[in-house]
């Protein structure tokens, strides 16, 4: 009788352990996509922010507290991207696995070097992130660094599956490297081109592909476009023959369209997060593929005009 | 509450603030040569760094990712700042993660006009005075991790009274555990009791310039807030459910009013309770039954990807000052619903609805009144408010609040139990997350006192650490 109970308990435990997948929560869809690429079947991934949602202003739904409470790991962008909504959720979630410094707290920004770190903090210049521009995942090499960090942490959290994670990382890197070569080739003819964006989301993308995305519809970060600023932008676009305006799903497309109409430019839908635009649902590499091909196409069409 | 002169209080706080923020000795008084040396060194360093940047950029390599910290056994090392301080280095105040405490300072300045005055219609300590300019809240908030076991938050609010004298108020000062097992959390210190939704919010988080009538009547102009302790439990369920139990000192309008007789109409009754008309009885702490107990259960569901509902039931039980054995019971229901589309820009557009309904059972013992002796009776009061907000355009929010409060007939005819209806439309413009401009009109009908009209404009501005939003 006793032996039977022990046996049943033991087999139940084994079953539980065998099926216990790492429960991972990612703040945004790009980080979730990388986690899926590394974790594969061995993990459950939930993204909090919707891919079409502004990552600075996510509704802090109480349901996220329940999700964070059960998580084994949290992947966040860091660098103050989630500052406006994540901290109270984490307070309420009461999950020591996600405490700062814990293995399960994965801050992607700690794996990359941030651009645009302000030397002085002054909000009269707009809502500037004190730790640097947090949209670093738009550079594929940063994504590789983040994937490496995620792999190391996953391996530490589930050592028995470490080999799988490492194998997945190798595959992800190989796929990304080959793609990166194609992307660079596609955009090389347009090196040095200046592009207008609604918000300063793309400095990492611009650095990687040798573009200049430094003219914005927002007069200052977080401040909505004003007529005076837009007319300045339009004048510069005309003077420098700038033909592409990037706009993200949650940004005011009408403003971008108005500027484009005045300058003969095209509005190109851009997005930081897989699933934010149709055709980008597949994952991180599919998203970058979409961005690069769409942009290259936009350069080509405007050139022919 | 303590009174200081304006200058003294502010100067003291500022000095402390600067001392915390700078956290470094003043620059050393060196000779010109020493400075030259230093500048030369800095130039050398700069050249070196420029070279390094050029190298890295030309190589088109990704900057080597700092060796991935695979096993941060003792936590990730905090970024190290160079020792000492040079005049060229900016003083950084409250940069997140680089100070032990996040500091913010939030001010609400008002101007208004009303057919009423002298606290006849205003509700809440932080609400604007009826006429003229007023500054009823300049709030210094300090927040940070105490150690691996506690985080702490403190908000010290300054306000100017009608004479321009500064009133200082410890709104909240509490520590909260961060690593208790079994989903538990303990909070202790001075803080807002977990009753309903608005009671736990600071004035600058409110969607209107003043406090709802029913909260003002039941909990007084500062809300239900006393030194105390609270245990809460996040119930392990697939959806958010939290149980909380708070225990507090009994000083409050509905319990033992003490010296805080301030009411919506400010009618001090010269030693008589404006609520029950009798001479208040001191209720000494003889046992746990003389404290105020506040249990709460709240839960939340996502109705869809764009709609969320949060609801709760709360209660407050404790002794009252009408007699040596009299008690008060208060029950409340609250509901908050919010819709926001998936492609919202900077949080706009949105629609939200918030409502709270409260009922109070107040056992009034036999009392000695102003002129008469009042018999023992039970007073029943209730009140409800509902507010609808519409963020119709980026930066713009239109709001409408309707409320009603009432009490049954009793031996003492109290103005703070009479029927009162108020309707408040308002419009708020948020230039950024750090400032707002609000215009509000109140149509206010009090039974027996007639109808009053008030208009207020409010400017809020905030310095320092970014405050995170709660749902």
Does the residue A185 lie in any domain? no
In a shared domain, residues A139 and A229: no
Predicted pLDDT of residue A305: 66
Predicted pLDDT of residue A130: 85
**Residues in chain B within 8 Å Cβ distance of A130:** 95-96
CB atoms closer than 10 angstroms to residue A237: 22
Predicted pLDDT of residue B338: 97
Radius of gyration of chain B (CA): 26
Q: Which of A23, A82, A94, A101 to mutate against chain B (most B CBs within 10 Å)?
A: A94
Residue pLDDT, tens place only, A206-248: 999 999 999 999 999 989 999 999 999 999 999 999 999 999 9
CB atoms closer than 10 angstroms to residue B185: 19
- Nearest Cβ partner of B239 from A66, A96, A103? A66
A-B contacts (CB, under 8 Å): 150
| DSSP secondary structure code for residue A42 in this structure | G
- Calpha distance A152→A139 (Å, rounded): 20
Q: What are φ and ψ of residue B200, in 5° steps?
A: -90, 0
Cβ-defined contact of B394 to A94 (cutoff 8 Å): no
**Domain of residue A233, residue span:** 190-304
In a shared domain, residues A200 and A130: no
Q: Is A120 helix (H, G, I), strand (E, B) or coil?
A: coil
Mean pLDDT computed over A61-89: 95
Among chain A residues, the shortest Cα distance to B242 is held by A92
Domain ranges within chain B, ordered by starting residue: 98-464
- Nearest Cβ partner of B346 from A57, A61, A69? A57
Predicted pLDDT of residue B37: 67
Of A144, A161, A180, which marks where a domain is finished? A180
- Calpha distance A223→A217 (Å, rounded): 9
* ipTM of the prediction: 0.88
Cβ-defined contact of B346 to A144 (cutoff 8 Å): no
Higher per-residue confidence, A235 vs A15: A235
**Residues in chain A within 8 Å Cβ distance of B302:** 61, 63
**Residues in chain A within 8 Å Cβ distance of B434:** 123
Among chain A residues, the shortest Cα distance to B343 is held by A250
Among chain A residues, the shortest Cα distance to B394 is held by A224
- Calpha distance B117→B365 (Å, rounded): 33
Report the percent of chain A where pLDDT is more than 90: 85
Does the residue A222 lie in any domain? yes
Question: What is the model's pTM?
Answer: 0.83
B391 touches B375 (CB < 8 A) = no
Predicted pLDDT of residue B468: 79
**Residues in chain A within 8 Å Cβ distance of B471:** 59-62
Tokens describing residue A227: 């007529």
Tokens describing residue B23: 């956290």
Q: Is A248 helix (H, G, I), strand (E, B) or coil?
A: coil
In a shared domain, residues A143 and A231: no
Tens-of-pLDDT digits for all 471 residues of chain B?
A: 344 444 444 444 444 444 444 444 444 444 566 666 666 667 767 666 665 655 555 444 444 444 444 443 333 444 444 444 444 444 444 445 567 889 999 999 999 999 998 889 999 999 999 999 999 999 999 999 999 999 999 999 999 999 999 999 999 999 999 999 999 999 999 999 999 999 999 999 999 999 999 999 999 999 999 999 999 999 999 999 999 999 999 999 999 998 655 444 444 546 889 999 999 998 888 888 899 999 999 999 999 999 999 999 999 999 999 999 999 999 999 999 999 998 898 899 999 999 999 999 999 999 988 888 899 999 999 999 999 999 999 999 999 999 999 999 999 999 999 999 999 999 999 999 999 999 999 999 999 999 999 999 999 999 988 777 888
Cβ-defined contact of A222 to B432 (cutoff 8 Å): yes
Distance from CA of B369 to the nearest CA of A (A): 47
Confidence of residue A133 (pLDDT cuts 50, 70, 90): very high
- Report the DSSP beta bridge partners of residue B312: B298, B334
- Nearest Cβ partner of A62 from B180, B468, B471? B471
Distance from CA of B167 to the nearest CA of A (A): 30
Cβ-defined contact of B308 to A62 (cutoff 8 Å): yes
Residue A168 clears pLDDT 60, i.e. is over it: yes
Among chain B residues, the shortest Cα distance to A112 is held by B65
In a shared domain, residues A166 and A263: no
Distance from CA of A1 to the nearest CA of B (A): 33
| DSSP secondary structure code for residue A201 in this structure | -
In a shared domain, residues A140 and A232: no
Which CATH number, 1.20.1090.10, 2.40.160.10, 3.40.50.2300, 2.30.140.10, labels domain B98-464? 2.40.160.10
**Residues in chain A within 8 Å Cβ distance of B300:** 61-63
Predicted pLDDT of residue A9: 53
CB atoms closer than 10 angstroms to residue B427: 14
Predicted pLDDT of residue A190: 95
Predicted pLDDT of residue B91: 45
| DSSP secondary structure code for residue A233 in this structure | H
Of A180, A200, A217, which marks where a domain is finished? A180
**Residues in chain B within 8 Å Cβ distance of A69:** 183, 234, 236
In a shared domain, residues A128 and A198: no
Predicted pLDDT of residue B145: 92
Confidence of residue A7 (pLDDT cuts 50, 70, 90): low
Cβ-defined contact of B471 to A86 (cutoff 8 Å): no
Distance from CA of A300 to the nearest CA of B (A): 25
**Residues in chain A within 8 Å Cβ distance of B184:** 94
SS3 of chain B: the string is CEEECHHHHHHHHHHHHHHHHHCCCCCCCCCHHHHHHHHHHHHHHHHHHHHHHHHHHHHCCCCCCCCCCCCCCCCCCCCCCCCCCCCCCCCCCCCCCCCCCEEEEEEEEEEEEECCCCCCCCCCCCCCCCCEEEEEEEEEEEEEECCCCEEEEEEEEEEECCCCCEEEEEEEEEEEECCCCCCEEEEEEEEECCCCCHHHCCHHHCCCCCCCHHHHHHHCCCCCEEEEEEEEEECCCCCEEEEEEEEECCECCCCECCCCCCCCCCCCECCECCCCCCCCCCCCCCCHHHCEEEEEEEEEEECCCCEEEEEEEEEEEEECCCCCCCEEEEEEEEEEEEECCCCCECCECEEEEEEEEEEEEEEECCEECCCCEECCEEEEEEEEEEEEEEEEECCEEEEEEEEEEEECCCCCCCCCCCCEEEEEEEEEEEEECCEEEEEEEEEEEECCCEEEEEEEEEEEEEEECCCCCCC
Cβ-defined contact of A83 to B96 (cutoff 8 Å): yes
Distance from CA of A237 to the nearest CA of B (A): 25
Does the residue A32 lie in any domain? yes
In a shared domain, residues A29 and A105: yes
Among chain B residues, the shortest Cα distance to A108 is held by B68
Q: What are φ and ψ of residue B39, in 5° steps?
A: -60, -45
B456 touches B440 (CB < 8 A) = yes
Among chain B residues, the shortest Cα distance to A107 is held by B76
Cβ-defined contact of A111 to B236 (cutoff 8 Å): no
In a shared domain, residues A62 and A18: yes
| DSSP secondary structure code for residue A55 in this structure | T
The verdict on whether omega for the bond into residue A137 sits within 30 degrees of 0, i.e. cis, is: no
Residue A219: CATH number of its domain: 3.40.50.1980
In a shared domain, residues A195 and A174: no
In a shared domain, residues A75 and A29: yes
Residue A36 clears pLDDT 50, i.e. is over it: yes
Distance from CA of A12 to the nearest CA of B (A): 22
Cβ-defined contact of B70 to A153 (cutoff 8 Å): yes
- Nearest Cβ partner of A249 from B238, B343, B394? B343
Cβ-defined contact of A100 to B183 (cutoff 8 Å): no
Does the residue A81 lie in any domain? yes
Report the percent of chain A where pLDDT is more than 70: 93
Number of structural domains (chain A) is: 2
- Nearest Cβ partner of B238 from A66, A99, A251? A66
Q: Which of B57, B296, B346, B461 to mutate against chain A (most A CBs within 10 Å)?
A: B346
How would you classify residue A275: left for phi > 0, otherwise alpha for psi between -120 and 50, otherwise beta? left
């Amino acid at each position: 009788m006793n032996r039977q109970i022990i046996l049943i308990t033991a087999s139940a435990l084994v079953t539980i352990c065998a099926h216990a997948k790492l429960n991972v929560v990612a703040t945004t869809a790009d980080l979730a996509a990388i986690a899926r690429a590394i974790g594969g079947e061995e993990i459950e991934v939930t993204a909090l922010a919707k891919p079409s949602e502004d990552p600075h202003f996510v509704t802090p739904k109480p349901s996220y507290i329940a999700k964070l409470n059960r998580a084994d790991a949290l992947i966040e962008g860091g660098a103050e991207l989630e500052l406006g909504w994540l901290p109270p959720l984490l307070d309420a979630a009461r999950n020591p696995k996600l405490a700062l410094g814990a293995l399960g707290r994965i801050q992607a920004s700690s794996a990359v070097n941030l651009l645009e770190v302000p030397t002085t903090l002054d909000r009269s210049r707009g809502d500037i992130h004190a730790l640097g521009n947090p949209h670093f995942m738009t550079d594929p090499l940063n994504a590789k660094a983040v994937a490496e960090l995620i792999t190391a942490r996953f391996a530490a959290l589930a050592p028995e599956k470490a080999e799988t994670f490492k194998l997945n990382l190798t595959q992800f890197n190989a796929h990304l490297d080959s793609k990166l070569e194609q992307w660079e080739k596609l955009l090389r003819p347009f090196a040095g081109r200046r592009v207008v964006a609604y918000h300063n989301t793309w400095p990492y993308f611009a650095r990687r592909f040798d573009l200049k995305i430094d003219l914005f519809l927002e007069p200052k970060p977080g401040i909505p476009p004003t007529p005076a600023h837009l007319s300045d932008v339009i004048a510069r676009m005309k003077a420098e023959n700038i033909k592409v305006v990037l706009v993200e799903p949650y940004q005011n497309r009408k403003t971008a369209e108005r500027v484009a109409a005045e300058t003969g430019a095209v509005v190109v839908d851009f997005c930081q997060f897989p699933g934010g635009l149709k055709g980008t649902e597949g994952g991180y590499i599919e998203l970058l593929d979409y961005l690069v091909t769409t942009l290259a196409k936009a350069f080509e069409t405007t050139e022919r005009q | 509450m303590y009174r200081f002169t304006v200058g003294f209080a502010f100067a003291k706080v500022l000095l402390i603030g600067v001392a915390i923020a700078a956290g470094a000795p003043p620059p050393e008084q060196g000779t010109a040569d020493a400075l030259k040396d230093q500048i030369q060194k800095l130039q050398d360093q700069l050249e070196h760094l420029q070279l390094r940047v050029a190298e890295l950029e030309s190589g088109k390599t990704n900057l080597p990712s700092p060796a991935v910290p695979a096993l941060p056994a003792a936590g990730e090392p905090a970024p190290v700042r160079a020792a000492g301080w040079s005049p060229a280095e900016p003083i950084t105040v409250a940069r997140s993660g680089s100070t032990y405490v996040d500091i913010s300072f939030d001010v609400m300045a008002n101007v208004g006009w009303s057919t009423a005055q002298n606290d006849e219609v205003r509700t809440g300590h932080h609400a604007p005075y009826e006429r003229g300019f007023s500054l009823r809240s300049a709030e210094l908030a300090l927040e940070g991790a105490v150690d691996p076991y506690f985080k702490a938050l403190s908000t010290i609010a300054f306000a100017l009274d009608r004479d321009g004298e500064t009133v200082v108020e410890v709104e909240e000062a509490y520590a909260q555990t961060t690593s208790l097992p079994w989903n538990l959390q303990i909070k202790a210190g001075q803080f807002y009791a977990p009753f309903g939704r608005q009671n736990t919010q600071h004035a600058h988080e409110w969607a209107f310039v003043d406090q709802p009538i029913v909260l003002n009547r039941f909990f007084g102009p500062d809300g239900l807030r006393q030194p105390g302790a609270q245990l809460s439990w996040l119930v392990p369920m697939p959806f958010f459910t939290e149980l909380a139990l708070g225990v507090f000192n009994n000083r409050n309008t509905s319990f033992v009013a003490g010296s805080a007789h301030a009411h919506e109409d400010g009618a001090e009754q010269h030693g008589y309770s404006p609520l029950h008309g009798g001479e208040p009885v001191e209720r000494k702490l003889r046992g746990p039954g003389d404290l105020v107990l506040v249990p709460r259960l709240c839960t939340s569901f996502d109705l869809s990807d764009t709609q969320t509902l949060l609801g709760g039931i709360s209660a407050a039980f404790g002794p009252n000052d009408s007699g040596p054995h009299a008690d008060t019971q208060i029950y409340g229901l609250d509901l908050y619903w919010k819709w926001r589309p998936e492609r919202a820009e900077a949080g706009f557009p949105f629609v939200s609805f918030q409502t709270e309904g409260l009922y109070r059972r107040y056992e009034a013992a036999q009392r000695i009144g102003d002129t008469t002796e009042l018999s023992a009776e039970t007073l029943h009061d209730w009140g409800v408010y509902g507010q609808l907000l519409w963020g119709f355009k980026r930066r713009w929010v239109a709001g409408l609040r309707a409320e009603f409060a009432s009490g049954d007939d009793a031996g003492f005819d109290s103005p703070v139990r009479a029927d009162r209806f108020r309707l408040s439309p308002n419009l708020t413009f948020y230039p950024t997350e750090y400032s707002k401009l609000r215009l509000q009109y109140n149509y206010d009908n009090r039974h027996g006192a007639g109808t009053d009209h008030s208009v207020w404009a409010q400017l809020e501005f905030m310095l320092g650490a970014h405050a995170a939003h709660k749902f």
